[in-house]
Structure 1
Amino acid sequence: MQKSRITELFNIEYPVIQGGMVWCSGWKLASAVSNCGGLGLLGAGSMYPDVLQHHIRQMKQATSNPWGVNVPLLYPNIDELMNIIVEEEVKIVFTSAGSPAKWTGFLKSHGITVVHVIANSRFAAKCEEAGVDAIVAEGFEAGGHNGREETTTLTLIPLIRKATSLPLIAAGGIGAGEQVLAAMVLGAEGVQIGSRFALSAESSAHEAFKQYAIAAKEGDTMLSLKKLAPVRLLRNRFFELVREAELRGATPEELSQLLGRGRAKKGMFEGDLDEGELEIGQVAALVDKLQSVADIFEDLKSGYNEARLRI
């Protein structure tokens, strides 16, 4: 895989960033990705401040390569998380689910490289104004929380490439080397891969969730809860309850009550395949076995190189 502004920005060998996914992206996964030459990210969205601090300290022991932390800006204890990140001298932070203007200045004042995740081209200008160092453009195919516009990665990357000159990372529906190359052709300079790493041996997700997602076929994930925050889910009993509620016109308040608290943890971390919220991207349909991070990287590299020869 080719060098780019993204590999230079993070000082990594390959332009591959692991998504900072809730309940999947602990220090074991993130350090494995960094040790393979990509950029591993801790998923702070599912970590209490003391848990994040523990994972940061484990990362320092597990790898000497670059790594970072993904922080959803809607996190309730965001001030505590940001202070821990500064105190622990984290070098790279990816922010998502909020305005880049909120924390970019604070982070950059402490010498931290900042990347912001967006799902539409309108936010590209806001990222530039905020002073971020790079952008992740996440398409509709992605797992977890998603853009309301439902713009696919194939369309989103060229749109954002036209809107900004910032280093650009493609995300959403990317899990194979051929897809990495396609993203580069569209104007991206790196990729962020979530679902395939969520289904790796080193992921902190529950084994039952991993196997259920690996068994998923085309069409087994759907975007749901659009009146709250759109999230891509695997079909299960909870998903069917949500779909029934949405079809009868349930209000946001009713949907919020149905969602309750801790659904994602119940499904992805504890392995409740009936009542849990099972977040995964469409690319899960292409994953047919559990692999180590090292084996995934070998697949990505070989797929990328073979695709280049076909062009």
Structure 2
Amino acid sequence: MTRIVTPVTDLLGTDLPIVQAGMSWASSCSTLPLAVSNAGGLGVVAAGPMRLPDLERTLDEMAAGTDRPWAVNLPLYRADADKVIDLLLERRPPVLIASQGGPRRYLGRFHAVGTRCLHVVAGVEHARKAADAGVDALVVVGAEAGGHPPPAMVATQVLVRAVTRAVASVPVIASGGVADGAGLAAMLALGAGAAQFGTRFLASTEATVHDAYKRAVLDAGVDATRTVGHGLGVIRALGNDFTARMLELEATGAEEALRRKMFQASTLKDAALYGDVAEGKVEAGQSAGLIDSVLPAADIVARIVGEYQSALAGLPPVIDA
């Protein structure tokens, strides 16, 4: 069995420092998370858009489908987040990854039932606060990430290094712009204990998004994404008719009410479930430009490990003159 041992793998009990991002609709199921966990990484159920009965069924499928660690991602802004928390406390997932809210809201209760608690942060100050609250690890999201990048748009390489220097006692999972084993090696070199892969796993056979969405990811270059919704909850998505209209409104100083109306008229669901890649929010990271194939998730994990080994072997040695 192949293992890469880091503080994160020791904490979570995984074989590999590879975390599949919780992606609404793409991993709001058991299929993709089970495949990643059974391959040695950490599969993550995206609870954000799931109805409670669907989430309950998925949690049962996860528990029955693997004896390896797995996680649930919960955005705390969800209107019925307290009901989701109650369900998760009953089901006791091995790992909780919470985002967009404070950790004190949930931390003590999940620690009491044995769940490891990871918190998503996008800056050094928030990282310090989460660490002081007692989280088990931090997921540090940089500007290259798809979906919701940090408002300050600090690049992953800089932000991860800043957080690992500021909060050295808490393991870090780096997220944003990582699509292969070379990226994993880079994040571990910066002091992270694992890397989170989102867009790479969008292009997997198990990801439950429309084929048109996956094709859009494969067709994208590294410069194909746009950030829109500034002041409204900025997102990074592939450029399309929707992002073009948003960028025009932002460039001409349109009133917030008009921008908000346009922003809310388009949804991730339109793109992910219905394949509307022209008008929907095709959320993806800059790493889409590094992806050229749709593969089974287990093959993606194995490929990342092989690329990681090649990256390490290719580093030049230190030569004493």
Using the size of structure 2 for normalisation, the TM-score is 0.94
| Contact 2:35 2:298 (C-alpha < 8 Å) held by counterparts | yes
Measure, in 1, the Cα distance between the counterparts of 2:113 and 2:265: 34
Matched, 1:308 2:312: yes
Superposition pairs for residues 110-125 of structure 1, below 5 Å? 110-125=113-128
**Counterpart for residue 78 of structure 1:** 81
**Counterpart for residue 130 of structure 2:** 127
Picking from 169, 183, 190, the partner of 2:187 is 183
| Contact 1:101 1:126 (C-alpha < 8 Å) held by counterparts | no
**Counterpart for residue 263 of structure 2:** 259
In structure 2, runs of 5+ residues without a counterpart are 316-321
**Counterpart for residue 210 of structure 1:** 214
Instruction: State the superposition RMSD in angstroms.
Output: 1.3
| Contact 1:34 1:66 (C-alpha < 8 Å) held by counterparts | yes
Superposition pairs for residues 123-272 of structure 1, below 5 Å? 123-164=126-167, 165-260=169-264, 263-272=267-276
**Counterpart for residue 319 of structure 2:** none
**Counterpart for residue 88 of structure 1:** 91
Residue-by-residue CA offset, 1:5-26 (whole Å, 9 max, x unaligned) = 1111111100111100111112
Distance 1:7 1:224, change over 3 A: same
Deviation at 1:51, TM superposition (A): 1.6
Measure, in 2, the Cα distance between the counterparts of 1:76 and 1:39: 27
Secondary structure (helix, strand or coil) at the match of 1:46 reads coil
Measure, in 2, the Cα distance between the counterparts of 1:180 and 1:94: 20
Picking from 23, 26, 45, the partner of 1:24 is 26
Measure, in 1, the Cα distance between the counterparts of 2:39 and 2:123: 31
**Counterpart for residue 318 of structure 2:** none
Residue-by-residue CA offset, 1:51-81 (whole Å, 9 max, x unaligned) = 2112111212222211010001111110111
Picking from 94, 98, 101, the partner of 2:101 is 98
Measure, in 1, the Cα distance between the counterparts of 2:101 and 2:253: 27
Measure, in 2, the Cα distance between the counterparts of 1:261 and 1:73: 23
Using the size of structure 1 for normalisation, the TM-score is 0.97
Measure, in 1, the Cα distance between the counterparts of 2:112 and 2:52: 21
The one-letter amino acid of 2:71's match is: G
Measure, in 2, the Cα distance between the counterparts of 1:84 and 1:261: 31
Identity %: 33
**Counterpart for residue 62 of structure 2:** 59
| Contact 1:68 1:90 (C-alpha < 8 Å) held by counterparts | yes
Measure, in 2, the Cα distance between the counterparts of 1:140 and 1:222: 11
Equivalenced residues, count: 311
Residue-by-residue CA offset, 1:67-108 (whole Å, 9 max, x unaligned) = 010001111110111111111121210011122222222322
Measure, in 2, the Cα distance between the counterparts of 1:51 and 1:126: 33
Superposition pairs for residues 283-294 of structure 1, below 5 Å? 283-294=287-298
Measure, in 1, the Cα distance between the counterparts of 2:266 and 2:109: 30
Residue-by-residue CA offset, 1:207-238 (whole Å, 9 max, x unaligned) = 11001111111211011111111110111111
| Contact 2:229 2:263 (C-alpha < 8 Å) held by counterparts | no
**Counterpart for residue 7 of structure 2:** 5
Measure, in 1, the Cα distance between the counterparts of 2:54 and 2:248: 36
Measure, in 1, the Cα distance between the counterparts of 2:70 and 2:62: 8
Secondary structure (helix, strand or coil) at the match of 1:158 reads helix
Measure, in 2, the Cα distance between the counterparts of 1:253 and 1:120: 28
Measure, in 2, the Cα distance between the counterparts of 1:188 and 1:179: 11
| Contact 2:96 2:118 (C-alpha < 8 Å) held by counterparts | yes
